[in-house]
Chains A and B, each alone.
Chain A
Amino acid sequence: MITNQFRTARPETGRRERRRVRLGEHHLAGYLFIAPWLIGFFAFTFIPIAASLVLAFTNYNILSPLPHWIGVRNFERMFSHDPRYWVSVRQTFYFAFTSVPLKLAFALALAMLMTAPRRLVGVYRAAYYLPSIVGANVAVAVMWRQIFGTDGVVNAVLAAAGLPAHTSWLGNPATAVWTVIALAVWEFGSPMLIFLAGLKQIPAELYEAAAIDGAGVLARFTRVTFPLLTPIIFFNFVVQMIFGFTVFTSAFIISNGTGSPLDTLLFYPLYLYQKGFRDFEMGYAAAMAWVLLVVVALLTALIFKSSRYWVFYAQEEA
């Protein structure tokens, strides 16, 4: 009955709207309202992206007036004549595949602690979220340099504990990349908040039932929490992976823009920046950017594909 009413009502409103389109009134206001966004989108997003696709096939030193077409030579050079390119690829994968799982594990652990009804839990949540607000900017990266510097806090703590105080975390190729990973993990606030929301969704009855069946803490986590949380984990994983592949500021500041020591901090976006804005090889940098886009898109697709094997949606069974 109700649906019937709607069905009969619809065509009328539709007809009325179509008439307005023809008259062009009231839509004008709409277009005016979205004009700033449209202009912004075309001027600062769409056209630059299109331009960079063209530039990827050119040799363009920004000082010279015009780029010149060289076909796929940029890609050839990238894949077969540029040793530092592959170093940057390797280091980026290394960074993404260590920092993202660590960050998610951290975020989940903290989120679980935060769900417990404790006093001041709001303050704790805010405190743990704070690094995500201030994080990934220049000031934090500069601070990180201080913390891991030879006379920094980390060495001071180690010395106080009677442990060997390493001379230089940032200068040693074995440890430098881990300072950046630590910085990324430290910014676990936003996945933590999302986990918190997810944890709140899990019905308490399930835990009660599991407890009655004699499940311990570990069993409750592996049999209840984790499976019900997989959609959230999936979401966080995709988002953080994309962030991981685009890491720039921290590596740029910590290595002074060089990627040293031994190019261990030469992440893909940093190398891309060096090529474009330091060596002025804009065409090559644009080509690199497009390869990054394709690789990240493929990886995301892969994670999506894999999701049917491990992500569990409660509705499926209902």
Chain B
Amino acid sequence: MSNLGRREFLRIAGVAAAGAAAVRYAPGAPVLAQTPLTLRIMWWGSKNRHDRTIKVLEMYQAAHPGIKFTYEFTGFNDYWTRLATQAAGGNLPDIIQQDYARLVEWEGNRLMVPLDDFVKDGTIDLSRVPKVSIDGGRVNGKLYAINLGNNSQSILLDTDAFKRAGVPLPDQKWTWQDFEQIALAFRQKLGIFGAGYEFSDQQVWKSLYIARGQWVFSRDGRSLAVTDDGPFVEHLKMLLRMQKAEAIPSLQQEISEYHSNIEAQPIVQGKAAMSYQWSNQAVAEAAAAGKGRNYKLVHLPRPKGGKPSNYLKPSQFFSITSHSKHPKEAAAVIDYFTNSIEANRVLLAERGVPIAPKIQEALKPLLQPVELETIRYVARVQTDSSPLPPPDPEAFAAFQNNVFNPLVIGPVLLGKISPEEGAKVLRVEGNRVLAQKS
């Protein structure tokens, strides 16, 4: 008890001393003509991204003594929780990293400011940036977000494993049947998984229909638009076959091993020859796997005779929130990320392929093989892809977290219900959740 008391006392004393120090220094600080104004900025990502982003912010600060940054960063899931509470408290950061899936919701709640004026007056220079790379950031005709890099779904191939197994590399028009055969070959020839987790991801589900020229959600986002369960059932059956043959890890293994950290990925550990991810994430995966390994990126498989499963997507954006008191200064920072060659020498396309052509050119000689491969890959997808689908509906997160994963994918892949039943649950429960959101 006395011990606790002492500790408590020390803590209080410490806080008091810090407070006193703050009071003492604040008035003493010289009031310059331009007291640095503080911009708050927040992003999500991996450790790799945090280090690079912080370095760029420090460079900007050094070049602009009038600007000071305070920043926060987290992983993807905590990010939205933290932002939402800040939004409720009325103190959002000036600049936030924004996601394609959340744009509509954020615009609906008037939490972002339109950037068109800053583009017009040249604060953000988007001249020579192709229209397709800008338009993803528009909602109802207004530009709310600047694309930080382009992205597409991809399969990362460990080319050394392919060589060892004597399996030829697939070409970009490969089908899901090819995928299954190739994955099985790795189990038979090398005794490893053909591919890792994530083929039951809802992104893949969406792509099954994109390859058939359909968008899974209705225009108003309040119901499912696809009525044909066939492609989804077929896909689930394939995953069950592959699980059984140990061509991919089972869902059981995935739950117990996959901690959402990249080091646990089978391809990183050499336990699989292929993996599914967004193309910019391949860089982090290859980095985690270590030097001396060789990779290639290839399109997501498509159905036989189908259109491309891929589309080109803004990996993420920067937006300025409506709580910002210095939107113009914030816009200048976004321009630095978009157009500064020295900043991009640090960022190195980790957020996706930069949208400004001059930056892409400037980066090429600096890049590691995998980073270079992502740039080339995105260029390949540009020539062979389906159009960018509309943003996800407002209830998408609820749909994914309360229906798609727990009621469909889990029960089907753990063998509790059949793929046909799973597809039915998805339609019934999915429509209910989508309609519920007000």
Residues of A within 8 A of B (CB): 59, 62-65, 81, 83-84, 145, 148-150, 167-173, 176, 255-263, 266, 274, 277-281
Beta-carbon nearest neighbor of A279 in chain B = B398
Complex-state Cα separation, A215 to B406, whole angstroms:
55
Q: Which 4 A-B pairs have the closest CB atoms?
A: A171-B252, A168-B256, A170-B256, A171-B255
Q: Looking at B88, B260, B405, B407, which has the most chain A CB atoms within 10 Å of its CB?
A: B88
Stretch from B21-29, B79-87, B120-128, B340-348 forming part of the interface with A: B79-87
Which chain A positions have C-beta within 8 A of B109?
A: 63-65
Assess whether B251 is interfacial by the CB under 8 Å rule.
yes
* A112-B109 Cα distance, complex, nearest whole Å: 61
Residues of B within 8 A of A260 (CB): 255, 405-406, 410
Q: A168-B257, A171-B257 are in contact. List 14 more A-B contacts (CB 8 A).
A: A62-B88, A63-B88, A63-B106, A64-B109, A83-B407, A167-B252, A176-B255, A261-B251, A261-B410, A263-B406, A274-B401, A278-B81, A278-B397, A281-B398
> CA A253 – CA B251 in complex, angstroms?
18
Q: How many angstroms between the C-alpha atoms of A167 and B251 in the bound complex?
A: 12
In the complex, chain B residues whose CB is within 8 Å of the CB of A279:
397-398, 401-402
B410 touches A278 (CB 8 A): no
Query: Which of A84, A149, A263 sits near B257, CB closer than 8 Å?
Result: A149
Collect the chain B residues with CB atoms within 8 Å of residue A168's CB: 252-253, 255-257
Q: How far is the CB of A1 from chain B (nearest CB, A)?
A: 39
Q: Hey, which chain B residues are within 8 Å of A62, CB to CB?
A: 84-85, 87-88
Residues of A near B251 (CB, < 8 A) are 171, 261
Interface status of B259 (Cβ within 8 A of chain A): yes
Which residue of B is nearest A176, CB measured? Answer: B255
Which B positions have Cβ atoms within 8 angstroms of A? 77, 80-81, 84-85, 87-88, 105-106, 109, 111, 250-257, 259-260, 397-398, 401-402, 405-407, 410-411, 414, 416, 429, 432, 438
12 pairs of residues in contact across A and B, judged by CB atoms under 8 Å: A62-B87, A63-B84, A63-B88, A65-B109, A150-B253, A168-B252, A260-B255, A260-B406, A262-B414, A262-B416, A278-B81, A278-B397
Contacts of B257 in A (CB 8 A): 149-150, 168, 171
Which of chain A's residues have a CB closer than 8 A to the CB of B252? Answer: 167-168, 171-172, 261
Known contacts A64-B109, A262-B414; A278/B401 CB under 8 A: yes
**A171-B254, A261-B252 known; A145 and B410 CB under 8 Å?**
no
**Bound CA span A258–B414, Å:** 16
B residues within 8 A CB of A173?
414
**Complex: how many Å from CA A201 to CA B220?**
70
Tell me the bound Cα distance from A280 to B77 in angstroms. Answer: 12
Say whether B406 contacts A280, CB under 8 Å. no
Q: Is there an interface contact between B254 and A280, defined as CB atoms closer than 8 Å? A: no
Q: Please pick, from A83, A84, A261, the residue contacting B255 in the complex, using a CB distance under 8 A.
A: A261
Residue contact B397 to A84, C-beta cutoff 8 Å: no
Interface SS of chain B? helix
The smallest C-beta distance from A310 to any residue of chain B, in angstroms, reads: 34
**Bound complex: CA of A173 vs CA of B397, how far in Å?**
24
Check if B105 sits within 8 Å of A171, measured CB to CB: no
A285 to B397, CA, bound (A): 16
Q: Which of chain A's residues has its CB closest to B252's CB?
A: A171
Question: With A81-B432, A256-B260 known to touch, is A63 a contact of B87 (CB < 8 Å)?
Answer: yes
Smallest beta-carbon distance B394→chain A, Å: 9
Complex: chain B residue closest to A145, CB-CB? B259
Give B86's nearest chain A residue, CB to CB.
A62
Contact residues in B for A262 (Cβ distance below 8 Å): 406, 410-411, 414, 416
- Residues on A with beta carbons closer than 8 Å to the beta carbon of B416: 262
Residues of chain A with a CB closer than 8 A to B414's CB: 173, 261-262
Check if A84 sits within 8 Å of B256, measured CB to CB. no
Least distance between B403 CB and chain A CB atoms (Å): 9
Do A257 and B77 contact each other (CB < 8 Å), given the known contacts A62-B85, A171-B251? yes
Residues of A within 8 A of B250 (CB): 171
- A259 CA to B416 CA in the complex, in Å? 17
CB distance from B58 to the nearest CB of A (A): 30
By the criterion CB–CB under 8 Å, are A263 and B105 in contact?
no
Alpha-carbon distance between A210 and B253 when the two chains are bound, in angstroms: 56
Residues of A within 8 A of B106 (CB): 63
A84 touches B84 (CB 8 A): no
Residues of B contacting A145 with CB < 8 Å?
259
User: Which residues of chain B are within 8 angstroms of A263 by Cβ–Cβ distance?
Assistant: 406, 410
Taking a contact as CB atoms under 8 Å apart, the answer to whether A278 and B77 are in contact is yes
A63 x B402 contact (CB < 8 A): no
Partner of B402 from A84, A172, A255 at Cβ < 8 Å: A84
Bound together, the chains give a CA A255 to CA B176 distance in angstroms of 30
A64 to chain B, nearest CB (A): 5
The answer for the CA separation of A87 and B438 in the assembled complex, in Å, is 25
Of listed B256, B407, B432, residue having the most chain A CB within 10 A: B256
User: How long is the Cα–Cα vector from A170 to B254 in the complex, in angstroms?
Assistant: 10
From residue B272, how far is it (CB to closest CB) to chain A in Å? 15
Q: How far is the CB of B426 from chain A (nearest CB, A)?
A: 13
- Nearest Cβ distance between residue A171 and chain B, in whole angstroms? 3
CA distance A262 to B410 in the complex (A): 6
